[in-house]
Structure 1
């Protein structure tokens, strides 16, 4: 069984960021920016499913195994395109449909909240014939809460480059926080509770950017923690599953920080001028970093980095590296490294379990790797016409069905308090991945479980081999 890749939908906007929300929806942000090109700036919500059409009056039903994405809601973001995004559940019971969405728009970070599920009558943006009546799409009721100025770089080139939502602990009830960084080279950690408290008390609002005046802008909110990286900018960041270690990707170095000790510097990824690891030489730089949920104890933290050439050449090459940070020793060492592409990496994403790593390239390729061994599982060459802007893994289980399919009391930082055994929309596959690009296509890549030879096939091959050996021996000694 080979991997399946399908064009699930075509966006009406260039897509720059992607996040999964719930068990069957994805969020896509992008647009034309502040330039008056006629391309709107939006956050689009898509419902993933299979291409099923039915007519209740005629009793006609058709279904296929083609994965499609139907547009179920659109959020207008004004004159700013969303360039980075994150999403997290506000409740340990996902069937309530309450999520927090954050999106970087220029020097601001916009916060949105979904109150509950709803039904949408919007037509899906899909390249398939609609011969039957399409049902209403399951959607969310999205409300914009506030915009916060998170980057204060002087001049017109101030913008937020990365954002992460996380909880300060493994419990679903742990305090919710947000880490932002951008062109001013500061990492700011915000308490979501304090931000929302500022909204409710209506402090220091600037409504000049909004015609309706209904959404406040907070310019002078004090973050809970501010880290000066002493660099020119922060290109990427991520937070460990336990919520106490933050990693920053800077132009000249990659640093780990201790959030539980007021942003204390923990370690730096080593570089080697004459070592055997080519990815650590000064000819390469870290493009992106993601923590892997692999270690069972809090003293060892794994993460994956993607490395690109500092100066692009005709012989392009990029690497993936797996790292282990030993907190007690304060030591950061490489576990393994492999070639990712003969191309330049554009984005990196890890599955929630941490076992799979996905990489997108500037040439439009998508590759899946085993995180522990960094061995390539599948490579889809130039599946997009242009560079891949974002990737997102789809969940294997459906956690949003109340009172059905829940066992145990296992608690995770962003999963429900009870483990779910109901299959997800891609449960027939080992894992499933969504990719977006500036070519405006949404693609779903489904990777099958490894096939094993049956016992009968083994006996058949054994009989063939035995027959061949018998003929050879009979020919030689007859």
Structure 2
């Protein structure tokens, strides 16, 4: 997204009344944010909110993508502020079925979307939404003061496994499918794997696309690769001596989450006549008007949209190339004439 400060401020599409800590895409046209005031008695609610990303914000000047975000769904998370979250599609995108894992203190609460529905936005207009309901809860730490720090679904299994990282330095792999099939709150779910990964907090985790390797980053400054099935350490990754210097100043305070928007909308392919052979016809998504678009969430309680525009060919460079080509052609013709 370039380096240094940008002259044009990115448009703010959401200004929240509560502190937000998490942001994830919920399909190609929705984003899910979450946060709150936690257990404090300040009156700040703990919420998960779904926004429909649509076009039509014509008031945003100098924006290549006039994006508008409409609040369409709100979930109360009781006394817990969601501090980490992940989302995975668990069926055909057109079915609107997703699993959501949210870190609530020592617990990982799992939610599901049951499909698309029509809802009312803040202006009481009809808007496309996803119906969200609770599935169950995993106790990711037996210690009350120990918090879940990060969570990630295994996308190779469409969310049948989920991995959590805790304040106790441990990585745990869970059978999400068992939780979905047995939703009784009395059922105790134990982790498939329990790995002593780091000496203190597990800051972040991710899973390879084939579901075979977990990477973890800890407060101890170490990054490690783990075998997803055996729980054994594959290797430690050395910290790079130099970090990239490219950056984009935005928000004015630290950014807590970023997500790339989709250039296509795979949840509506059946609405478009498709060819009998060859590639499928795609429907443009929120990022179709740019080389790349991402949304950023910050401690200033706003969500901004950032666009990387398509490269435009310079007419000056074209004329220079045409001039040089003409000179070469003239020289060749002149040489042939002398012969």
Same topology, TM > 0.5 = yes
Could you tell me how far 1:269 is from its partner in structure 2?
1.0
- 1:389 equivalent to 2:249? Answer no
Q: Structure 2 CA distance, aligned partners of 1:115 and 1:397?
A: 22
CA contact (8 A) 2:106 2:144 kept: no
Could you tell me how far 1:430 is from its partner in structure 2?
0.4
- 1:12 equivalent to 2:17? Answer yes
> Which one of the candidate residues 27, 35, 41 is aligned to 1:30?
35
SS at match of 1:392: strand
> Which one of the candidate residues 251, 262, 267 is aligned to 2:219?
251
Q: Structure 2 CA distance, aligned partners of 1:409 and 1:102?
A: 38
CA contact (8 A) 1:89 1:99 kept: yes
| Aligned equivalent of 1:266 | 234
- 1:447 equivalent to 2:298? Answer no
What is the TM-score when the length of structure 1 is the normalising length? Answer: 0.60
CA contact (8 A) 1:159 1:183 kept: yes
| Aligned equivalent of 2:84 | 84
> Which one of the candidate residues 115, 123, 137 is aligned to 2:127?
137
> Which one of the candidate residues 300, 311, 319 is aligned to 1:459?
319
Q: Structure 2 CA distance, aligned partners of 1:408 and 1:433?
A: 34
Deviations 1:268-307, CA, capped at 9 Å, x for gaps: 0135xxxxx634xxxxxxxxxxxxxxxxxxxxxxxxxxxx
| Aligned equivalent of 1:432 | 293
1:389–1:136 Cα change, 3 Å? same
1:68–1:30 Cα change, 3 Å? same
CA contact (8 A) 1:7 1:443 kept: yes
| Aligned equivalent of 2:3 | none
Q: Which runs of 5+ in 1 are unaligned?
A: 54-63, 125-133, 206-219, 272-276, 280-318, 320-337, 341-366, 368-378, 411-417, 467-478
SS at match of 2:283: coil
Could you tell me how far 1:432 is from its partner in structure 2?
0.4
Deviations 1:32-65, CA, capped at 9 Å, x for gaps: 1110111100001001112369xxxxxxxxxx95
1:249–1:434 Cα change, 3 Å? same
Deviations 1:124-147, CA, capped at 9 Å, x for gaps: 6xxxxxxxxx63111111111112
The number of residue pairs the alignment matches comes to 312
CA contact (8 A) 1:33 1:79 kept: yes
1:221–1:419 Cα change, 3 Å? farther
1:259–1:408 Cα change, 3 Å? farther
CA contact (8 A) 1:87 1:165 kept: yes
Matches within 5 A, 1:34-183: 34-51=39-56, 66-91=66-91, 93-123=92-122, 135-152=125-142, 154=143, 156=145, 158-168=146-156, 176-183=160-167
- 1:278 equivalent to 2:241? Answer yes
Q: Structure 1 CA distance, aligned partners of 2:95 and 2:26?
A: 13
Q: Structure 2 CA distance, aligned partners of 1:191 and 1:36?
A: 35
SS at match of 1:193: helix
Deviations 1:397-431, CA, capped at 9 Å, x for gaps: 01111524567999xxxxxxx85622112201001
Higher RCO (CA-CA < 8 Å; seq separation 6+): 2
1:402–1:387 Cα change, 3 Å? same
| Aligned equivalent of 2:332 | none
Q: Structure 2 CA distance, aligned partners of 1:437 and 1:265?
A: 34
1:100–1:419 Cα change, 3 Å? farther
Q: Which runs of 5+ in 2 are unaligned?
A: 1-6, 59-63, 327-339
SS at match of 1:278: coil
Could you tell me how far 1:159 is from its partner in structure 2?
0.8
Shift >3 Å, 4+ stretches: 404-410, 460-464
CA contact (8 A) 2:287 2:293 kept: yes
Q: Structure 1 CA distance, aligned partners of 2:277 and 2:190?
A: 37
What is the TM-score when the length of structure 2 is the normalising length? Answer: 0.84
Q: Structure 2 CA distance, aligned partners of 1:44 and 1:240?
A: 28
Q: Structure 2 CA distance, aligned partners of 1:462 and 1:193?
A: 62
Matches within 5 A, 1:395-406: 395-405=262-272
1:88–1:243 Cα change, 3 Å? same
CA contact (8 A) 1:225 1:263 kept: yes
CA contact (8 A) 1:408 1:419 kept: no
SS at match of 2:130: strand
